[in-house]
Amino acid sequence: MPNTLVKSSAESAFLDLHKKLLERGRPALAELQEIALRRFDSLRFPHSKHEMYTYVNTKELAATSFGLPDDAANVSEDFVSRHIYPGCEHQCLVFVDGTFDRGLSRFEGMRADIAPLSEADRELKNYLSETAANENDVFASLSTAFCGDGIIFKVDDNTQISDTLQVLFVSTGRAAAPVMHAPRLVWQLGKLSEVKVIEKFVGRDGGYFINSVQDWLLAEGAGVSFTQVQADVFDSWHFSKTRVHLNRDAKFYSTNASSGTQLARHHYEVWLKEKGSELKLNGISVLDGKEQVHNFVRIHHAAPQCVSRQHFKNIVNGAARSSFDGTVIVNREAQLTTSDQLVNNLMLSDNCHTNNKPNLMILADDVKCTHGVTVGQIDEDQWFYLQTRGLSAKAAKELLTRSFAQSIIQTIEFPAVVEELSGSLLQKLEATDA
Amino acid sequence: MLEIKNLHARVDGNEILEGISLTVKAGEIHAVMGPNGSGKSTLAKILSGHPSYEVADGQILFEKNNLLEMDAEERSLSGIFMGFQYPVEVPGVNNAEFLRMAFNARRVRDGEEEIDPLDFDELLSEKMKMLKMENKYKERNLNDGFSGGEKKKNEILQMAILKPKLAILDETDSGLDIDALRTVAEGVNSLRNEKNALILITHYQRLLDYIKPDFVHVLHKGKIVKSGDKALAIELESQGYDWVTTEN
Ligand SMILES: Nc1ncnc2c1ncn2[C@@H]1O[C@H](COP(=O)(O)OP(=O)(O)OP(=O)(O)O)[C@@H](O)[C@H]1O
Ligand SMILES: [Mg+2]
């Protein structure tokens, strides 16, 4: 490998760690790992002015000395079932420390194929190699370089799965040294197929780095409803990269609810590749203490008559931080594009921070695109109004905060998730009043 | 019931009320009139506990308690209600749910149990019917996107649910059409009894045809410059404020 001598210790630590990984035996995705590792080596960890990490300080994370995971982490069925939403008991995929756990998963009567990523067909393998070689995000490269094996979730043409599927990512945490988990999922959706997916990320103990990558490949007319709940423990790192490819008339509706960690970052990269495809990307973060959530979004409108709608809301308290860095790129051929991008921040304390950079790059001339950001506090007039009707200052503030979150929460179609979110939101507000 | 003595109040350093004294007894209706900017809404907001106003001098007793020591929540719970001149829109807060929360806050304070949601819905329906409000306003968010008149009706709906001892209605008539004004006035009248009292802030004698005041006061530059009975309102309607304000 070139430049080994001038490399900073952060990168070489991971390269050394990878050598140790190889000593354990040839990984199932050896070739892909090799490509990703080379890409990681050329991308390098971001310096402080890196354009993809403007608001995210990764120095401490990169400098952390990570170890390899122990062979078999043990997670009880009881722990798992506590985190499975009602209605998903019979359809859930469980990952433990980044690795798919067949024993803990349930797929009774599932109308989809689930296969290891190492068994991908040639076409998918080519896609994965090419993506890894051209990866733009160094942490996604790192994830692929360390990914043991992933899962392909394949739904045939014309198959609509009405039951909701849950994916649970459990990190056991607290090993001798911090460990990075690199779960990998590829979702292949056939023509006119439909799925509803809830993903939840939880930790049993802290000190881990969950660094996931997923690819959503939607054929003509496919539809996805995707809800993500990030509920890791505070002293963990959570990075995710979600790549979405939408073919003709495909629809991808996504809502992410994050409670933050010491550093959480979601990277979305979406291609609206063919006419009539539609994206909804929503996010809500409820942050307190020193929690952070950063969203980084790139949306490529490459075909005419596509729609993308983004709405992110952040409730930021304590000394928490949020950021949004989003760009919509409308290619020359993407006439009649409709795109909007809105970020609302509710700042509840003097010490909290938010940075927002919505951006549009429009090369087509006949488009309807908007973007906007608001940063505000609890509205004093609303707050007073509610108190004059007998609500305490605290109850009124809670009500207003919940109502701020409402427009995103109501896009989630699963009552159990909504209930859980409202609960944790209130819990955080209460914690700070004490 | 309410005793205001020599009230002086400031906002952002500007003296707005310059010595107001007013006594309201149970069963009475007081109308407060006066030109724009004379301090009527300021008085109403101070009574309901708005934090932006600084009381520089004077005293307010409500049922013998020092009102100025109570926060907005306490004042509401002890029976004061202000109908806002400009009711605030609160998107994301369901109207019916909010009303139930407010109703329950009062029950809890009185040591009672929270009302059964179905019973509350019935109570709400009854009050809405009285005010000729369609059911769809239950589903709407609090004042969100309501027209000017709808917001005013919604204020009276809140009053009807909360049954205050003292209601201060700040220009509730402005923005209501003729039929709505009559409906609202009938609603307010139906809530009246010898134990509660009403302060009506208005520019128009029209409202006072429906809700008959015992006293009419004219506020000018932060002072009550004239008090009288209903005849005063009629006089003001035909002559304007000049004749009372120039006298002083
Ligand atoms: N924050 C503020 N800073 C300075 N002046 C203020 C402030 N709030 C109110 N005022 C002034 O106080 C005065 C009284 O206002 P108020 O709203 O009480 O009048 P009003 O009698 O209700 O008028 P209207 O009939 O138009 O409703 C006005 O001159 C207004 O401009
Ligand atoms: Mg006024």
In this model, does residue B95 exceed pLDDT 90?
yes
- Nearest residue, CB atoms, B76 vs list A382, A390, A406: A390
pLDDT at position A427: 81
Q: Is A294 helix (H, G, I), strand (E, B) or coil?
A: strand
Residue bearing tokens 């919940």: A402
Q: What is the Å distance from ligand 1's center to B231 Cα?
A: 27
| Ligand 1 touching residue B39 (CB < 6 A) | yes
Domain span at residue B157?
A: 2-247
Provide mean pLDDT across the span A377-393. Answer: 96
pLDDT band with cut points at 50, 70 and 90 for residue A426: confident
Whether the CB of B110 is below 8 Å from some CB of chain A: the reply is: no
Q: What is the dihedral of CA A117, A120, A126, A127, to 10 degrees?
A: -60
Whether the CB of A386 is below 8 Å from some CB of chain B: the reply is: yes
In this model, does residue A423 exceed pLDDT 90?
no
In this model, does residue A7 exceed pLDDT 80?
no
Report which protein residue has its CA nearest ligand 1's atom 13: B37
Q: CA of A113, closest CA in chain B: separation in Å? A: 41
Q: Is B203 helix (H, G, I), strand (E, B) or coil?
A: coil
pLDDT band with cut points at 50, 70 and 90 for residue A6: low
Ligand nearest to the CA of B39: 1
- The whole-angstrom separation of Cα B20 and Cα B2 is 13
Ligand nearest to the CA of B203: 1
Q: A199 and A166 in contact (C-beta within 8 Å)?
A: yes
* A362, burial (CB in 10 Å: exposed 0-12, middle 13-18, buried 19+): middle
- The whole-angstrom separation of Cα B191 and Cα B199 is 14
A200 closest CA partner among A274, A156, A253, A258:
A258
Give the contacts of B47 (CB within 8 A, at least 6 positions apart).
B2, B60, B67, B75, B80, B82, B168, B199
Task: Work out which ligand 1 atom sits closest to the CA atom of B219.
Answer: 21
Cα angle vertex A196, ends A204, A248, to 5°? Answer: 130
Provide mean pLDDT across the span B165-170. Answer: 96
- Nearest residue, CB atoms, A403 vs list B73, B81, B90: B90
Q: Indicate the helix (H) or strand (E) that contains A203.
A: strand A194-203
Chain B residues touching A384 at Cβ < 8 A: 50-51, 72, 88
The size of chain A, in residues, is 434
Ligand 1 pocket test: pick from B12, B41, B203, B218 the residue with the most ligand atoms within 8 Å of its Cβ: B41
| Ligand 1 touching residue B12 (CB < 6 A) | yes
pLDDT at position B244: 79
- The whole-angstrom separation of Cα A336 and Cα A280 is 17
Q: Indicate the helix (H) or strand (E) that contains A95.
A: strand A91-96
Chain B residues touching A315 at Cβ < 8 A: none
pLDDT band with cut points at 50, 70 and 90 for residue A2: very low
Q: What is the Å distance from ligand 1's center to B17 Cα?
A: 10
Cα angle vertex B18, ends B17, B19, to 5°? Answer: 110
A271 closest CA partner among A240, A310, A306:
A306
- Nearest residue, CB atoms, A388 vs list B49, B109, B141: B49
Residues of chain A with pLDDT > 70, as a percent, come to 97
Amino acid type, B105:
A
In this model, does residue A431 exceed pLDDT 90?
no
Ligand nearest to the CA of B222: 1
Q: What is the CATH number of the domain that holds B205?
A: 3.40.50.300
pLDDT at position A105: 96
pLDDT at position B202: 93
Q: Which two tokens stand for residue A387?
A: 């108190």
pLDDT band with cut points at 50, 70 and 90 for residue B97: very high
Provide mean pLDDT across the span B138-158. Answer: 94
Chain B residues touching A393 at Cβ < 8 A: 71, 73
Cβ within 8 Å, pair A382-B88: yes
ipTM value, please give it: 0.95
Q: For residue B141, what is the nearest residue in chain A, using CA coordinates?
A: A403
A185 closest CA partner among A134, A111, A244, A272:
A244
In this model, does residue B246 exceed pLDDT 90?
no
In this model, does residue B203 exceed pLDDT 80?
yes
B81 closest CA partner among B47, B58, B112:
B47
Whether the CB of A349 is below 8 Å from some CB of chain B: the reply is: no
Q: Which two tokens stand for residue B221?
A: 């530059």
Chain B residues touching A407 at Cβ < 8 A: 92
Cβ within 8 Å, pair B88-A390: no
- The whole-angstrom separation of Cα B162 and Cα B123 is 11
Could you tell me where the beta strands, DSSP code E, fall in A139-193? Answer: 151-155, 165-171, 179-181, 184-189
Q: What is the Å distance from ligand 2's center to B41 Cα?
A: 4
Q: What is the Å distance from ligand 1's center to B221 Cα?
A: 10
Chain A residues touching B105 at Cβ < 8 A: 389-392, 395
- The whole-angstrom separation of Cα A208 and Cα A172 is 8
Digit-coded pLDDT (tens) for A341-369: 999 999 999 999 999 999 999 999 999 99
Cα angle vertex B196, ends B190, B200, to 5°? Answer: 75
Task: Work out which ligand 1 atom sits closest to the CA atom of B52.
Answer: 1
| Ligand 1 touching residue B45 (CB < 6 A) | no
pLDDT at position B247: 58
- The whole-angstrom separation of Cα A152 and Cα A99 is 13
Please list the residues that pair with B80 across neighbouring strands.
B166
Q: What is the Å distance from ligand 1's center to B34 Cα?
A: 12
In this model, does residue A432 exceed pLDDT 70?
no
Q: What is the Å distance from ligand 2's center to B36 Cα?
A: 7
In this model, does residue A434 exceed pLDDT 50?
no
Digit-coded pLDDT (tens) for B35-89: 999 999 999 999 999 999 999 999 999 999 999 999 999 999 999 999 999 999 9
In this model, does residue A401 exceed pLDDT 60?
yes
Ligand 1 pocket test: pick from B14, B47, B173, B224 the residue with the most ligand atoms within 8 Å of its Cβ: B14
pTM reported for the whole predicted model: 0.87
Residue of B47, B86, B90 best to disrupt the A interface, most CBs of A under 10 A: B90
Whether the CB of A82 is below 8 Å from some CB of chain B: the reply is: no
pLDDT at position A49: 83
Ligand nearest to the CA of B33: 1
Strand order in the sheet with B29-33: B80-83, B166-170, B197-201, B29-33, B215-220, B223-228
Give the contacts of B238 (CB within 8 A, at least 6 positions apart).
none
Q: Tell me the CA end-to-end span of chain B in Å, nearest whole number.
A: 29
Q: A415 and A198 in contact (C-beta within 8 Å)?
A: no
Mean pLDDT of chain A: 94
Q: A182 and A144 in contact (C-beta within 8 Å)?
A: yes
Cβ within 8 Å, pair B90-A386: yes
pLDDT band with cut points at 50, 70 and 90 for residue B21: very high
Q: What is the Å distance from ligand 1's center to A145 Cα?
A: 66
- Nearest residue, CB atoms, B73 vs list A387, A403, A405: A387
In this model, does residue A25 exceed pLDDT 70?
yes
Looking at the 3D structure of chain B, how many domains does it have?
1
- The whole-angstrom separation of Cα B176 and Cα A381 is 23
Provide mean pLDDT across the span A322-328. Answer: 97
Q: CA of B51, closest CA in chain A: separation in Å? A: 8
Q: Tell me the CA end-to-end span of chain A in Å, nearest whole number.
A: 55
Q: Which tops the pLDDT comparison, A297 or A175?
A: A297
Chain B residues touching A406 at Cβ < 8 A: 92
Q: What is the DSSP string of B77-130?
A: HTTEEEE-SSPPP-TTSBHHHHHHHHHHHHHHHTTPPPPPHHHHHHHHHHHHHH
pLDDT at position A3: 45
Digit-coded pLDDT (tens) for A197-240: 999 999 999 999 999 999 999 999 999 999 999 999 999 999 99
Task: Work out which ligand 1 atom sits closest to the CA atom of B171.
Answer: 27
In this model, does residue A380 exceed pLDDT 50?
yes
pLDDT at position A47: 87
